[in-house]
Structure 1
Amino acid sequence: MRAKAVAAPSPAGSRLAVLTDARHTVQRLAVSFCAPRGVSGAALELLCSLLERGTRSRPSAREHAAAKAEMYGLNCGWHVRRRGDSFRLVFGATFVSPAEAGGERYAAELERFLAESVREPAFMDEGFDEGLFEVDRSNLASWLRELETQPSTRAVRRAFGLALEGDPYSRPASGTPEEAEALELAGLRELFARTAWRGRALGVSAGPLETEEAGRLLLAVTGGEARGRGTRWRPFEPPERKRRFREEGGGESDHVVVFFAPGRGARFTRTEFAAAMGVFATGSSSRIFRSIREEMGIAYGHELIRSFEKRIAAVHSAVLPGRGEDAAARIEREMEEAGRGVDAEELAVLKRESAANVLKRLDSPGGLAEMLLYHLETGGKAEGFDGEAPLRRMERVRPERAARVLSYFRAFAVYVSAAGGEGSLPER
């Protein structure tokens, strides 16, 4: 499947792409706006709430929801995505093709509604009720405070803050309660204008609409103005010596986070990174699961947090009380052993899981749009998009190459949050 570019006013500004797939009657549109460097995740999360408060012509959440329902159940909304050091504010909409709905009248109403959602949100008007802003701000701060009461979230946030101290990636993606409470409406209005009206926009649409019609909707959302360039991320520079942190965290389990980064000069592609880390620590077929869960029998579960842009990977695991140091040592050892050799069968399992995921995405407008947007966000051009390319790239990764990539990585920080009570694993 090939995409086509939509004419944009400036090479350094918006980049818009359309993928026409006549198999479907539903269209997916997504526009990703690059936020300014240094913005907090809390500010963008609060913007998402405020943007659901309606538009200038429908200045209430109820009117906004009713209008969406009238347009054949139009589903649209906002979310925040982080890539490296930068945040992106993403607007997405799924709707029935005008050819299947109300024809030209429906198409005109749809275009107007989508444009208003981005170009004329109610909270940007001076007459907006600041009491609603205060409610949303309070709700966000309460949600973030609740997150920090969870031992696993608290441990991961604390670990990243210590291990990556001073780097933008050390900050929680969704922000902190203190950051939320410090936000003001005037500042958020300026942030939204800089992000969605003047910041760089990458937009995609996938479904039955042809390039001209889908492109018109994308241009209505972005406004068609020339925009500035997006922010660039910087790989994390790990310290020369490994650092260890241990704290009393309370709860019924130890929490362990082990951070890895490659040495200088290490070269690998996104696909090679994904394959190597998948074998190492993704899912129940990974080295880490088999080791600390099945062999040692000490882990409740684990997760892999990785960033190709930052060139880091972190394994977080909740384990039995008093076994945090044992788990950390085993995780480090497993990375060293994986770097010496990857079994063909364990890589084949990962490839099958990856292929199933890609094929599922290729079969829906939402999945296609997400793949196309990712293609643009990572530097690709519309005409260079090939939906089946991820399958071929993953298939080309060989066990010896996956092992070579893992051999580049060394632990640069180990964090252990010790339990404060008794714990036990559920029976298997």
Structure 2
Amino acid sequence: MRSTFPGREERRGGGVIPAPAFPRSGGGAAEAAPAGNGGGRLEESLLSNGIRVLTEAIPGVRSVALGVWIRQGAAHEALSETGASHMLEHMVFKGTERRTPRQIALELERLGGSLDAFTSREHTSYQARVLSEHLPVALDVLADLVLDPLLRQEDLDLEREVVLEEIATVDDTPDDLVFELHGEAMWGEHPYGRSILGTRESVEGLGADTLQRIHRERYRKGELIVAAAGHLEHERIVETIAERFGALPGTEVAPVPDIDYSDGGPPVDLHVQRDTAQTHVVFGSRTPPRSDPQRYPLSLISAAFGGGMSSRLFQRVREEMGLAYSIYSFQSFYSRAGVSGVYVGTRPEGAARAVDAILEEFGTVMREGLSDDELREVKDQVKGQVMLSLENTASRLFRLAGFALYDQPRLTLDQLLERIESVTRDDIKEAAERSFNPERQAILRLGPG
């Protein structure tokens, strides 16, 4: 299982510009959308209980990536139940009404396939990847996991120790821990600032009754999202999902609380003492949510600051100043707000110089924006990344799910590329003024004094 916590969530591409969305349909009927340049056939069906089924038929491949998304993540948890969503994700693999833990692990592996899961701030997901002829088996396994886990107290008592080890691993990994601490500082009391893994105290306090209640209220009702990409037939997948999930009652999930992101959030400057070889520093500020069109200029700014070896900060802090091995930008957009920022790891004696250089670059872009040539370069870079991502069934799967999870605009791929291309220097400057003002950054340092 692959569990996602702050830091890994942001670094695994939460801010990547979404692929084209497409119209929804009602009553279980499918509606297709033109794929545009480089896409497969996109179809969506809406079951009567609110479950959305999205597929992309991709010519020339023999595999299928598929997944189920539940609108239950760290941001939906009560403060006393922090980490419950992540623990529930672990527990579904401890056995179902029809399969033992070993049978769950063996079912797809014996066919050369894979099974995975993760928990994030706003949802939990279970995914599989198999050859197309094994798609019925994969659908059955995913349905079994989501609908019928045993969730026994004796299994929880054992798995709790595994999660406590996971928490300890983060605590011993400073370039992960610094993101967790930064999230707490930047988001304050908002649920986005809570640990996805939970704390040692909250995990030790979880009981099977809590997990059973969350499963009953969130997993066994509508509002689920099922997506698949690869060699497939949309109608057959819809039929199977309707058979396994169609009887679930429909429901509306309580939204994540609103949060003010208008000025990037309050400035923060904290130093957490830790005896490490490097000082790890995260800069960040609140951004508009995923639905806001400002994500386009923000994605271009992020690429300009730390999107690769040619980026401003890589060239200045690493190549010119020799202060870091690892420096990069990150961003994630959620339903209520987002985050955009930079990470750098540097020896303690160089930390102050690295911080000053990064803030100076923020100020330059805030005042001047990007030149015509640099804007052209990052547009080509981001558009190329979008196109290259379409060559992987797993990434297409996650894009499909993103359409439904965040109700993204109904764009073809060509329209999406046009949105990126239409970003102006004024758009860049406006986004930088809001999200990269050096005087309004949340900065967290982790390392020696």
Query: Normalising by the residue count of structure 2, what TM-score does the alignment of the two structures yield?
Result: 0.78
Is 1:341 aligned to 2:358, yes or no? Answer: no
Q: CA 1:163/1:262 → structure 2, altered by over 3 Å: closer, same or farther? A: closer
Give the structure 1 partner of residue 354 of structure 2. 327
Give CA deviations for 1:77-115 in whole Å, capped at 9, x if unaligned.
321133xxxx211121223324xx6xxxx84x5554443
Supply the distance in 1 between the matched residues of 2:223 and 2:237 (Cα, whole angstroms). 19
Q: Identity rate of aligned residues, in percent?
A: 19
- 221-230 vs 159-168, which deviates more? 221-230
**Alignment partner of 2:258 out of 234, 240, 255:** 234
Higher Cα Rg, which structure: 1
Give 1:50-199 correspondences, 5 Å limit: 50-58=91-99, 60-69=100-109, 72-82=111-121, 87-98=122-133, 107=136, 111-121=139-149, 123-124=150-151, 128=152, 130-198=153-221
CA distance 1:418–1:136, shift in 2 (3 Å): closer
The answer on whether the counterparts of 2:297 and 2:428 sit within 8 Å (CA) in structure 1 is yes
Whole-Å separation in 2 of the counterparts to 1:360 and 1:54: 38
C-alpha separation in 2, matches of 1:51 and 1:110: 15
Structure 2 CA distance for partners of 1:417 and 1:110, relative to 1, 3 Å: closer
1:370 is aligned to 2:392 = no
Instruction: Judge conservation of contact 2:305–2:328 (CA < 8 Å) in 1.
Output: no
User: In the TM superposition, what is the alpha-carbon distance from 1:141 to its structure 2 partner?
Assistant: 0.5
2:270 alignment partner in structure 1: 245
CA gap 1:178/1:352 in 2 versus in 1, 3 angstroms? farther
Please state how far the C-alpha of 1:221 moved relative to its aligned partner.
Answer: 5.1
Cross-structure match for 1:414: 443
Work out the number of aligned pairs and report it. 395
The question of whether the paired residues in 2 share the 8 Å contact of 1:285 and 1:349 is answered with no
Give the equivalent residue in structure 1 for 2:27.
Answer: none
**SS of corresponding position for 1:369:** helix
Residue in structure 1 matching 2:66, options 10, 17, 29: 29
Q: Is the 1:279–1:350 Cα contact (8 Å) retained in structure 2? A: yes
User: Would you say 1:297 and 2:325 are equivalent positions?
Assistant: no
Measured after TM superposition, the shift of residue 144 of structure 1 is: 0.6
In the TM superposition, residue 206 of structure 1 has moved relative to its aligned partner by: 2.1
Change in CA separation of 1:172 and 1:290 when aligned onto 2, cut-off 3 Å: farther
2:177 partner amino acid? R
Deviation of residue 334 (structure 1)? Answer: 0.9
Distance 2:260 2:353 in 1: 27
2:430 corresponds in structure 1 to 404
| Alpha-carbon separation, structure 1, partners of 2:85 and 2:213 | 12
Q: Is the 8 A contact 2:67 2:126 kept in 1?
A: yes
What does residue 313 of structure 2 align with? 288
Q: How far did residue 302 of structure 1 move?
A: 2.3
Cα drift, residue 17 of structure 1: 1.9
Correspondent of 1:210 among 233, 251, 256: 233
Q: Partner amino acid for 1:343?
A: S
Question: Which among 3, 12, 19 is matched to residue 56 of structure 2?
Answer: 19
Amino acid of the structure 2 residue aligned with 1:96:
L
Flag the 1:48–1:135 CA change in 2: closer, same or farther, 3 A: same
Contact 2:186 2:285 (C-alpha < 8 Å) held by counterparts: no
Q: Residue type of the partner of 2:422?
A: R
Q: Could you tell me how far apart the structure 2 residues matched to 1:388 and 1:372 are?
A: 16
5+ unaligned residues in a row in structure 1: which ranges? 421-428
Q: Which amino acid aligns with 2:104?
A: H
CA distance in 1, matches of 2:286, 2:90: 36
- Name 1:393's counterpart in structure 2: 419
Q: CA deviation at 1:320?
A: 2.0
Provide closer, same or farther for how the CA distance between residues 142 and 325 of structure 1 changes in structure 2, counting only shifts above 3 A.
Answer: same
* CA distance in 2 between partners of 1:198 and 1:163 (Å): 33
- 1:286 alignment partner AA: S
SS at match of 1:215: helix
Q: Which runs of 5+ in 2 are unaligned?
A: 1-34, 36-40
Residues 214 and 230 from structure 1, CA distance in 2 versus in 1: closer, same or farther, beyond 3 angstroms?
farther
Change (3 A) 1:239 1:350: closer
CA contact (8 A) 2:43 2:54 kept: yes
- Answer yes or no: is the 8 Å Cα contact 1:273–1:308 preserved in 2: no
Q: Alpha-carbon deviation of 1:187?
A: 0.9
Asked whether the 8 Å contact 2:284–2:442 carries over to 1, the reply is yes
Is the Cα–Cα contact under 8 Å of residues 276 and 403 in structure 1 kept in the other structure?
no
- 2:345 maps to what in 1? 318
| Cα displacement string for residues 326-361 of structure 1 (whole angstroms, at most 9, x for unaligned residues) | 322222221110121313443444334433432333
Change (3 A) 1:18 1:131: same
> How large is the RMSD of aligned CA atoms in angstroms?
2.9
